[in-house]
Amino acid sequence: MDFYIGLLQVIGVHTLLGLSAWCILHTGQVSMAQGGFFAIGAYVAGMLTAMAGWSLGPALLIAAVIASLIAIAIGFPALRVKGLMLVVATTAFAEIVRLVFFNLKWQVQTPNGPIGPDGGLGFGGIRYFPANGWSGLEILTLIWCLVAGVMLVLWLLDRSRIGTLWRAVGEDEVAAQSAGINLTAAKVSAFGIGGAIAGLAGGIFSHYTTHIEHGNFTILLATFAIAYPIIGGLKSLLGTLIAVVFIQGVLIEGLRFLGDLRSLLFGALILAIMLIRPTGLLSAPLRLPFFNSKKNTPVGDGKTGARHA
């Protein structure tokens, strides 16, 4: 039972991570910075509860706000570039964040001994849940309440003016700008909201694992983050959740006996989605290459060759 509770916790946190990338992808930008925002949220929330004695709620809020502010700060210069250069710039940011925490050594004395980040040894002793008697099921409930809350907020945003602006920018920047849309404001707002969600996810992650280190925030984490909404489809929040369940529940855990072959299957999955359903699982009717669900109709009338209207 504990295994399934732990797996559902992982799925919940990765759903938040995927939703954070969903915001940015909605504007047509591909960012690899989500792992960096996730790490910032993890370390900030962990330090506030373990070192400063804060309660979990305010710690998660501050972690999300700080991650959001940093996302906005890097959003302005990063969004001066597009496409591959944006991917490179945000990847560099995520690596800088990871290396900063790899070298961060800051501990305080507590009744249980020194607690805080210890460079390459990581940051342990984040014991808020055990110290307050939280069970695995209660932690799971908290995580999925946060997932439901974030999905509700994004669902409302998607149907508001903000969501309309994001979609317009993502579909055609030139047309959006000619219609008077501020491209920078739309993109930076997506970065800020996505950063806040990633920071929130990181804060929860550090508390249910109780120990974090720089190796938790590699480029693979950012790859997962953008893969979830791409596979699930940007037109459906539920698609991101389904993609996380399949990748983390089936591909990563269910096929653990395959070892490193799972990486090949992960790549093959993305390739198959791009060929069969390029807009994601829940974005459009199924399309198979070389096949058409509709019967072929003649171009001409068979006699004069005139085209039908």
Instruction: Tell me the pairing of strands 113-115 and 108-110.
Output: antiparallel
Beta carbons within 10 angstroms of residue 269's beta carbon: 16
Bridge partners (DSSP) of residue 307 are 300
Helix (H) or strand (E) holding 222, with range, is helix 219-232
61 has a pLDDT exceeding 50: yes
Share of the chain above pLDDT 90, in %: 48
The pLDDT assigned to 290 comes to 42
Average of per-residue pLDDT across 183-192: 88
Average of per-residue pLDDT across 180-195: 88
Lookup result for tokens 């997932």: 147
The pLDDT assigned to 154 comes to 93
**The one-letter amino acid at 6:** G
Q: Where are the domains of the chain?
A: 2-218
The pLDDT assigned to 288 comes to 44
Average of per-residue pLDDT across 144-164: 92
Short-list 269, 266, 190, 234, CA closest to 31: 190
Which residue has better confidence, 171 or 38?
38
Short-list 204, 160, 186, 254, CA closest to 12: 204
With cut-offs at 50, 70 and 90, classify the pLDDT of residue 198: very high
With cut-offs at 50, 70 and 90, classify the pLDDT of residue 155: very high
Share of the chain above pLDDT 70, in %: 90
Considering the chain, what is the average pLDDT of its residues?
85
With cut-offs at 50, 70 and 90, classify the pLDDT of residue 297: very low
DSSP 61-98: HHHHHHHHHHHHHHHHHHTTS-HHHHHHHHHHHHHHHH
